[in-house]
Amino acid sequence: MAAHLVNRIGRNSLSYSWRVTGLLALLCISLFAFAAPNPTATDDTRHVLIRDITTIEGVRENPLIGYSVVVGLNRTGDSQQTQFTTQTLANVLQRLGVQVPATTIQVRDVAAVMVTASLPAFARPGTTLDVTVSSIGDAKSIEGGVLLLTSLHAADGQVYAEAQGALTLGGYTVGGNGNSKVVNHTTVGRVPAGGIVERDTSIDLKHLKVLSLSLRDPDFTSARDIANAINHEFGKELASALDSRHVDINIEQSGAASVPTLIAQVQNLTVSIHPPAKVVMNERTGTIVMGGDVKLSPVSVLHGDLTVEVTTTFAVSQALPQAKGGKTEIVPETEVRAHDKPARSFQLKEGANVEELITGLHAMGATARDIVAILQAIKAAGGLQAELEVL
C-alpha cells in the first residue's frame, strides 16, 4: 500500500446549515375554553363620529381609464420594437393633418402610457382631477414628459373626463453606460389637476325618500347604536338598523330643510363603538398587530431552541514523491455540531392581555416569526379569545 502525505493546502468551506427552531407549544389550557370576565378590566369602548365609521350608500368614486402617449422625453422613451407607440403617434399626427408612415417615426422621445383617475361623487363639468400616468412599453423613464390629450372612460365605455399636462415624478434616473442610479419609480408620474370632468355625474338628492348608511366594519351593536343616536337626536323613530352593515333613515319624517342638512347633522353625531378582539399576522414579514382588548385563557408556553449545523470542508490528499501509483485526491471532511439550549417557559393567568403575552415571549427570546407560530398554536388550543387573521 502506497504511503500518502495529507497536505492541507486549502480549505474550501461548503457549509450546509439547518436551523431547526423548535417551537414547542405546550399549552396547558384550563378546563374552561373561554376566559371569565375580568372585573378589573378597563372599558374598551371608543367614541367616534358617525361620519368616521359609515358611508352614504350610492355616494362613491368611480374609476376612469384612458390610453395616450407622453412626449418630450430625453431619449428615454420606447424603443422601435414597441410598435403600438409608433402607430399611436402616427394616428395623432394624422388627426392633426400630418401624414407620416408609422415605420419612419423615431419614438425615443415618446412613450405609450395608461392614464387613470378617480371620478369623485357629485362631480360636475369643469371639476379638476389628479391623473396618474404609467408607462406600458419599454421606456426607461417618463421624467420631464408631457401627456397629450387623453379621453378618460368609465366602465360603461362613456367619456367622462379629458386629461393633459406636464408630468411630475417622485424619482429620477442619472448616469449611463452601465453606471447609473435610479431613485423610486421613473415610469409612473402624476399630472396634478390635469383632468377636467366633461359630463355631469352628480346625484339628485331631492327625490330620495330613504337615506342609507353603510358601516365600513359590519357590527350589529354599532348599527343599533347608530340608529339609537339618530332617533335620540331627532326625538322620533326615523332610523332603523336593517342588519350589521346598513342603517336606513326616513327623510320625510326627519323634518330637515334639505337632504344635505340632514346628512351633515347625522354625520356629526357621536356614538360608542366596541372594537372586536382581533389579531392580524403576516407570516411572510413576521408582522403582528393586536388590539389591547385581546384576552387569553390560562396558558403555559414552553419554547426550546435546537440548532444542528453540518459543515463540509475539502482537504487535498497528495501522494508522496516516492510512492508509486499514488494520486492526488480531494477528500471531503464532514463535521456535525448540535446545540440544544434549555427550554424556557412562562405562564399566563386567567384574563391575561396582549401586553403580558408579548412581554413574556420577548423575555423568552422569541422572534416575531416565533410569536406567529405560538399564537397559532394558542388559537388552535382554544386559549386565544380573539379572531385570528393570517395574511
Alpha carbons 45 and 174: distance in angstroms, whole number:
53
| pTM for this predicted structure | 0.65
Q: Is the pLDDT reported for residue 63 higher than 90?
A: yes
Q: For residue 306, name the pLDDT band (cuts at 50, 70, 90).
A: very low
Q: Where are the beta strands (DSSP E) in 136-260?
A: 146-153, 159-166, 172-176, 179-183, 188-197, 210-215, 239-241, 246-250
Angle between helix 354-363 and 368-380 (nearest 10): 130
Q: What is the pLDDT of residues 155-189, one digit of tens each?
A: 999 999 999 999 998 766 665 555 566 666 789 99
For residues 149 and 113, the answer to whether their CB atoms sit within 8 Å is: no
Q: What is the pLDDT of residues 211-253, one digit of tens each?
A: 999 999 899 999 999 999 999 999 999 999 999 999 999 999 8
For residues 116 and 134, the answer to whether their CB atoms sit within 8 Å is: yes
